[in-house]
Structure 1
Amino acid sequence: MLDVRRLQVLRAVVSSGTVTAAAAHLGYTPSAVSQQMAALEKQAGTALLERVGRGVRPTAAGLLLTEHAALISSAVAQAETALADLRAGRTGRLSVRYFATAGSALVAPALAGLRAEHPGIRIDAELTDPEDPLQELVRGRADLAVVVQGPGRVGRGFRLVHLLDDPYAAVLPLDHPLAHQEIVDLHDLSGEQWVGCEPPGPCLEAVIDSCAAAGFSPDFVIRSEDYATAQGFVAGGLGVALMPGLGLRDRHPGVVVRPVRNPEPVRVISAVVREAALEQHALRGLLGALQEAAASSGPPGTG
């Protein structure tokens, strides 16, 4: 195999015309340059230089390798430029995975901000419901995942960045006896029929665990994994529900929403990235943009 460094020495000798001039240009001694050329000729299996007066000129093989050395030098320079652009966040690709209610409230404004600051970044954003976005990150298919944090969900080698605490509220039909109250004790919903609106996972766990803390298990008579549809069932008088604030941005006119206490269920929304990937400037920029979006995107008021 030809030595790339020796090829560049050959290029310097050919362009300079003498070993001495090439040595001065490279900062080597003439003897070191001659040794490099001898070693390269041994690797090539043929003469690469021939003497002409006090200088040298390339043989056909030497000229061929000199041309390739120039291509290699150009390719290395391009690679260095591309690497610098990637490190600076001017180019590259980011894959983002998220769940539905985080999309419009957090991911969309964050990606818009990132694109404005880093227009050369290609963004691959994909909704993963009903799958867990974290699994896409663990499998190496994503650079960042927006997740609902649960105990022990993130292992070593990953960084968890808090974005938003998203409290659940009671969603009731307009004529429900508790609709006139400003705040609802969770236990007061223990005898109700319930409309489920969460797929299995940490969001549903937040509801189940809070109801258990209030002394009961919710009686789900209807299940829907879509908040808008679930609100329709509640408006029709088919049950009550607990829904997170981000899921209540589009309010059905046939429901009222009331804060809950004793306890108040809350889902913790976070971004997860690999520790090793944080050296990417664009990824750090995306994390910052998500935090800004979260800070300006509080849950909607009740009413």
Structure 2
Amino acid sequence: MLDVRRMQVLRAVVTSGSVTAAAANLGYTPSAVSQQIGVLEKEAGIALLERFGRGVRPTAAGLLLTEHADVIGRQVAEAETALADLRAGRTGQVAVRYFATAGADLVAPALARFRREHPGVRVDLRIAEGAGPDPEADVTLVVRPRDAHRDGAGTEGGLRLVHLADDPYRAVLPKGHRFADRRVVDLAELADEPWVGSERAGPCLDAVLEACAAAGFTPDIAVECEEYATAQGFVAAGLGISLVPLMGLGSRHPNVVVRRLRGPEPVRSIHAAVRESSLALPAVRGLLTALQEAWSPTATRRPAPARATSPTA
């Protein structure tokens, strides 16, 4: 097999016209250059240089290898430039998977910023299949406990968990509900209400159930729907109350009111599951920063102001 480095030495000799000049250009001794050419000739099985006056010139085989060395040299230079651009975050591709309700308020503004800062990087953006990380993606948005990324628990299946945002749940009540005039509702006050389940089994539902347990009760799920818009329809029809995360309230039913919760406030914590190797890429780190800074629950979709404030609010 031909050694690429020795081919570049041959190219230097042919270009300069002598072993001595090539050695000076390469920073080698003439004997080292001659040794490299000798080994290359053994690899090629044919003479590559011949004496010509005080210097040397390539044989047909030497000229052939020199031409290929030129091509290889250009390709290596192009590869080095491309690699430098990738290391600097100027080019490349980032594969991102996300769940639908994080799209409008989290992913969209983050991606808009990322494209301004990294215009040469392509983003492969798709809805995630299932609640777990996609091992083929650089970044997958997932819901995990708030402290999942702390105290050494920041890995999952070889992926690093990076906290992005906390998405608080809101109480969705039918208009005319006894708490409709409140700005804030204590979670325990909803213990005796029939509930419309808006979450399927998984980390989002876990966040709701854990908050209810902390408030001292288990919700009575009267209707299961596992979808935020449909849950609002059931609430509007008077079939119960529901809890929906703020990011899931993009389209509000006209016959419901949305109120903050406390004691405690349920929160689903959104993380990025990131491939360890991808964390070394500036483009991926830039995208994570954009995601972390995109979401502000106090500046987005504030609940409509109440008509009056109850003395108990």
Give the letter for the 2:143 counterpart. Answer: V
Matches within 5 A, 1:90-129: 90-128=90-128
Distance 2:293 2:216 in 1: 38
Q: Which residue number in structure 2 is paired with residue 36 of structure 1?
A: 36
Using the TM superposition, give the Cα deviation of residue 175 of structure 1 relative to its aligned residue in structure 2, in angstroms.
2.1
* Aligned-residue offset at 1:192: 2.2
The aligned residue for residue 83 of structure 2 is: 83
Residue 222 of structure 1 is matched in structure 2 by 223
**How many Å separate the matches in 2 of 1:76 and 1:283?**
25
Choose from 141, 153, 163 the match for 1:146: 141
Looking at secondary structure, tell me which structure has more helix per residue.
1
Verify the 8 A CA contact 1:190 1:218 in the aligned structure 2.
yes
RMSD: 1.9
Q: TM-score, normalised by structure 2?
A: 0.89
1:148-183 CA-to-partner distances (Å, cap 9, x unmatched) read: 222657426644333322221211111222223333
Match of 1:65 in 2: 65
Aligned to 1:191: 192
Counterpart AA for 1:142: A
Q: Is the 8 A contact 2:154 2:162 kept in 1?
A: no
Q: How many residues end up aligned between the 2 structures?
A: 298
Query: What is the deviation of 1:296?
Result: 7.5
In structure 2, runs of 5+ residues without a counterpart are 305-313
Letter of the 2:198 counterpart = C
Deviations 1:201-249 (A, max 9, x none): 1110011112222232222232223211211111011111011111123
Normalised by the size of structure 1, how large is the TM-score?
Answer: 0.92
Alpha-carbon distance change, 100 to 154 in structure 1, aligned in 2, over 3 angstroms? farther
Structure 1 contact 105–297 (Cα < 8 Å) conserved: no
| Equivalent AA in structure 1 for residue 102 of structure 2 | A
The answer (yes or no) to whether the contact 1:106–1:297 under 8 Å persists in 2 is no
Alpha-carbon distance in structure 2 between the residues aligned to 1:118 and 1:248: 30
Aligned to 2:259: 258
**Alpha-carbon deviation of 1:255?**
0.4
Per the TM alignment, residue 297 of structure 1 is displaced from its structure 2 partner at its CA by 6.6
% identical equivalent positions: 63
Equivalent-residue separation in structure 1 for 2:110 and 2:182 (angstroms): 37
Distance 2:284 2:182 in 1: 45
Q: Aligned residue for 2:173? A: 172
| CA–CA separation in structure 2 for the residues paired with 1:220 and 1:263 | 19
Secondary structure class of the residue paired with 2:110: helix
Q: For residue 95 of structure 1, report the CA deviation from its aligned partner.
A: 0.7
Task: State the SS of the aligned residue for 2:295.
Answer: helix
In structure 2, the residue matched to 1:26 is: 26
> Do the aligned partners of residues 297 and 278 (structure 1) sit closer, same or farther apart at CA in structure 2, a change above 3 Å counting?
farther
Contact 1:165-1:266 within 8 A present in 2 as well: yes
SS at 2:182's partner residue?
coil
Tell me the distance in 2 between the aligned counterparts of 1:284 and 1:187: 41
